[in-house]
Amino acid sequence: MISDAVVEEVRARADLVDIVGEYTSLKRVGKSVRGPCPLHDGDDPNFSIDPNRQIFKCFVCGEGGDVFSFVMKHLGMDFPEAVRHVAKRVGVEVEEDDGDDRDPHAAVREALAFAAEWFTRNLVEGDGGEAGRRYLADRGLDLEEAESYGLGFAPDAWRRLRSAAGKHGFGDEVLMEAGLLSTSEKADEPYDRFRNRLIFAIHDTRDRPIGFGGRTLSRDDDVPKYINSPDSPVFHKGRTLYALNWARHAIRKEEAALIVEGFTDALSLHTRGRETAVAPLGTAMTPEQAETVARYADTAFLLYDSDAPGLRATFKAADNLLEAGVHPMVVTLPPDHDPDSLVREEGVEALDRCVNDAVDVIERKLQILEKKGYLESIEGRRRAVDGLLSTLRAAEDAALRDLYLDRVADRTGVRRATLVSEVARAEERRQRRERLQERRRERRESGREAGPGRPSGGGSGPGPRSHGSGSEREDVGDTGPVAERDLLLLLVRDDDGEILERSVESGLEPGHFENEHYRAVYRAFLETHGAGDDPLGRLEGSERRLLSRLRSSGTELTHPDQIFERCVARLKNRPRFRRLREIDHELEMADDDQAVELVQEKQEIARELRKEGVPLSFVHRWSESGPAAGSRGGRR
């Protein structure tokens, strides 16, 4: 068996025009490519290929399909043989999968395919589809085009689709799984999710319907304008782009994509020959959708609205695209226009002019900041830099990021070295959040997270845990809550007050604790120091429960003196550890002069850590390896 992933990769790389062109002469005619049919040895140009959708049709013998269909019909191969044949041509290695070749979601796919045909039939033929036909006519779309692009209509009825699907053997369970039905406490039975809506079928890259979007035709302001299918076994909204099944080959050819906000914009551009248009399913583009764009294009033109929500969506999409390695260009449309209204009222040439005038995302941000007067004052420039940091940090391409840094420094008057430091700090904060989220996720998965402030691993296992000096978890580079928890464990077992006295003498303060719950417990110990009071009496709520759990913890701490020294070193030296990580990020962006200064600063921090008694192996790892000793990602 050939895996679906391999089949999709072969399909995405194959060009039907090239493959058919080996067997017949082809010529471009408008948006299609035509020639004599090689399947029935015709003489007239009745064989048509849609290069955008990568499908063919012979208007004489009636054969049609995709690249695999053509190879199967022309060369007499079965499907696996056809896939291997095309894969060899496009350079994809096919590995066999010994697993079960049955699609576990076949019933869901069949239900979706039935619904797609049923919606389309209602639009084209049904009396109830008149509202949908009027809507399309107002936008210059005829029924033949609507049918070819998978449009349909959901009648204004509660269970019409459910009833029709039931007659064809589709039960409520599979219709629910496919996202075609909804339930409510107010309803005795499931009902149709889409009602009185123009339907846009959403396809995967194999042209199979996987979900639907519905635009309301009701005038009720309380009804959502658009709704989409919920996630299902075959549909994931955050990873899907509408119209990619039609656009992917054109995008790969142009090496650029047009990113629009919704179904209507994308469809309007496709029907007018702008075949690289795709839309996220919702205003905001996700990182996963950006990564999908990156598989096909190096550049993306963002054609979002120019109002405040549209600009926020534009810049969020741009940052995600930059992180995926795609260069985002911002297209500014005329006031009160979206792509659909612009091409309908002023022609596709008006849209082309806007696209030709597109500017880089960092330049567009600077234009807006300048227009709003942010660059005219010190405070404004400070806020401007804050607004630009996300884009500077997101730029994955080192050369592009370098250009961004120079441009922002020039326009804001902020030194390039300062911008580098700001970006590095922002990156370190992001990574710290990710590490914290990962720790929380691991605790949830292991069943050890019981609320705010619970020390991970404390007293939750089947027996005592030993945290000795040789444990991997004692890596001095770990400056997270582990050190805070272990210090508190030492304090709760400190019967004679020696550990607390040493903590005070070391200068350890509540501010050295990042976890607010641990900080509150440590403060309670300090407040009762020398008074003989129980710190528990100074606490309430989650902090009181935290101290109780620490006291009942079965975690063993061997070599407590060594653990104390390490915990204090970690907590007090957190700013140095953090600065070392920031320097590593800065070195990736620094020019040669700044890099020399950064390496010197790194070495100075290493010397300071040595004085604090941090093990030499840890200092060596920071000061003599990594970006400081190797190549840098910044300018040469």
Higher pLDDT, 479 or 207: 207
Rounded mean pLDDT, 232-261: 92
What is the token pair recorded at 13? 């790389």
The predicted pLDDT at position 439 comes to: 63
CB–CB of 275/247 below 8 Å? Answer: yes
CB–CB of 115/121 below 8 Å? Answer: no
| 562: confidence class by pLDDT, cuts 50, 70, 90 | confident
DSSP-assigned beta bridge partners for residue 181: 192
3-class DSSP string for 418-475 = HHHHHHHHHHHHHHHHHHHHHHHHHHHHCCCCCCCCCCCCCCCCCCCCECCCCCHHHC
Residues in contact with 384: Cβ distance below 8 Å, sequence separation at least 6, in sequence order: 369, 374, 375, 412
Q: Residue 87: which of 8, 22, 155, 149 has the closest Cα?
A: 8
The predicted pLDDT at position 452 comes to: 42
Q: Residue 604: which of 626, 623, 628, 581 has the closest Cα?
A: 623
Rounded-to-5 percentages of helix, strand, coil across the chain: 55, 10, 35
With 70 as the cut, is the pLDDT of residue 93 above it?
yes
CB neighbours of residue 334 within 10 Å: 13
What is the token pair recorded at 4? 């679906």
Rounded mean pLDDT, 599-619: 72
Q: 327-330 and 299-302 as β-strands: parallel, antiparallel, unpaired? A: parallel
Q: How far apart are CA 398 and CA 634, in angstroms?
A: 6
Q: Which CATH number fits domain 446-572: 3.30.70, 1.10.860, 3.30.1310, 1.10.287?
A: 1.10.860
Listed ranges 52-61, 175-184, 371-380; the one with the highest mean pLDDT: 175-184
DSSP-assigned beta bridge partners for residue 57: 48, 64
Q: Which CATH number fits domain 4-90: 3.90.580.10, 3.40.50.720, 3.10.310.30, 3.30.9.10?
A: 3.90.580.10
The predicted pLDDT at position 450 comes to: 41
Fold agreement (106-235, 446-572) = no
Q: How far apart are CA 326 and CA 397, in angstroms?
A: 9
Q: Residue 457: which of 445, 443, 471 has the closest Cα?
A: 443
Q: Residue 233: which of 376, 74, 111 has the closest Cα?
A: 111
**Listed range (43-47, 213-217, 297-301, 448-452) with the worst mean pLDDT:** 448-452
Can you give the pTM of this predicted structure? 0.63
Rounded mean pLDDT, 111-127: 93
Q: How far apart are CA 107 and CA 537, in angstroms?
A: 62
Task: Give Cα 134 distance to the centre of its chain.
Answer: 37
Rounded mean pLDDT, 237-266: 93
Q: Residue 626: which of 618, 635, 636 has the closest Cα?
A: 618
Using the structure block, give the residue that is written with the tokens 């619970």. Answer: 454
CB–CB of 9/252 below 8 Å? Answer: no
What is the token pair recorded at 417? 């070295």
Per-residue pLDDT of 344-396, as tens digits, reads 999 999 999 999 999 999 999 999 999 989 898 998 898 899 889 989 989 98
Residues in contact with 233: Cβ distance below 8 Å, sequence separation at least 6, in sequence order: 104, 105, 108, 177
CB–CB of 165/111 below 8 Å? Answer: yes
CB–CB of 161/118 below 8 Å? Answer: yes
With 70 as the cut, is the pLDDT of residue 468 above it?
no
What is the token pair recorded at 17? 């025009």
With 60 as the cut, is the pLDDT of residue 630 above it?
no
With 70 as the cut, is the pLDDT of residue 25 above it?
yes
Please give the helix or strand (H or E) that residue 84 lies within, else none: helix 79-90
**Maximum distance among all Cα pairs of the chain, rounded to whole angstroms:** 104
Q: Residue 565: which of 497, 482, 476 has the closest Cα?
A: 476
User: Where exactly are the structural domains of the chain?
Assistant: 4-90, 106-235, 239-357, 446-572
The predicted pLDDT at position 31 comes to: 78
Q: How far apart are CA 302 and CA 314, in angstroms?
A: 7
| 602: confidence class by pLDDT, cuts 50, 70, 90 | confident
With 80 as the cut, is the pLDDT of residue 69 above it?
yes
Q: Residue 485: which of 451, 462, 445, 519 has the closest Cα?
A: 519
Per-residue pLDDT of 280-316, as tens digits, reads 997 679 999 999 999 889 999 999 988 888 898 999 9
What is the token pair recorded at 355? 């696209």
DSSP-assigned beta bridge partners for residue 154: 197
With 60 as the cut, is the pLDDT of residue 119 above it?
yes
Q: Residue 455: which of 564, 578, 562, 545 has the closest Cα?
A: 545
Rounded mean pLDDT, 542-571: 84
| 462: confidence class by pLDDT, cuts 50, 70, 90 | very low
Q: How far apart are CA 403 and CA 413, in angstroms?
A: 15
Residue burial 53-75, b: 16+ Cβ < 10 Å; e: rest: bbbbbbeeeebbebbbbbbbbbe
Higher pLDDT, 534 or 227: 227
Q: How many C-alpha atoms does 62 have within 13 Å on its Cβ side?
A: 0
Return the amino acid letter for 220: D
> Architecture of domain 239-357 in CATH?
3-Layer(aba) Sandwich (3.40)
**Listed range (31-45, 85-99, 301-315, 399-413) with the worst mean pLDDT:** 85-99
Using the structure block, give the residue that is written with the tokens 């607010």. Answer: 516
**Listed range (94-98, 451-455, 545-549) with the worst mean pLDDT:** 451-455
Dihedral angle sign, alpha carbons of residues 571, 572, 575, 578: negative
Rounded mean pLDDT, 405-419: 91
CB–CB of 70/22 below 8 Å? Answer: no
Residue burial 453-462, b: 16+ Cβ < 10 Å; e: rest: bbbbbbbbee
With 90 as the cut, is the pLDDT of residue 514 above it?
no
Q: How far apart are CA 299 and CA 290, in angstroms?
A: 11
**Listed range (174-188, 254-268, 433-447, 548-562) with the worst mean pLDDT:** 433-447
The predicted pLDDT at position 447 comes to: 54
Q: How far apart are CA 628 and CA 622, in angstroms?
A: 9
The predicted pLDDT at position 236 comes to: 94
Using the structure block, give the residue that is written with the tokens 């062109």. Answer: 21
DSSP letter string, 111-162: HHHHHHHHHHHHHHT-GGGHHHHHHHHHTT--HHHHHHTTEEEE-S-SSHHH
3-class DSSP string for 336-401 = CCCHHHHHHHHCHHHHHHHHHCCEEHHHHHHHHHHHCCHHHCHHHHHHHHHHHHHHHHHCCCHHHH
Q: How far apart are CA 417 and CA 591, in angstroms?
A: 9
Domain 106-235 has CATH 3.90.980.10: yes
What is the token pair recorded at 153? 């209509």
With 70 as the cut, is the pLDDT of residue 457 above it?
no
Average pLDDT, the chain: 84
What is each CA distance from 467 to 441, 446, 471, 472, 618, in whole angstroms? 22, 19, 6, 9, 19
Q: How far apart are CA 75 and CA 515, in angstroms?
A: 68
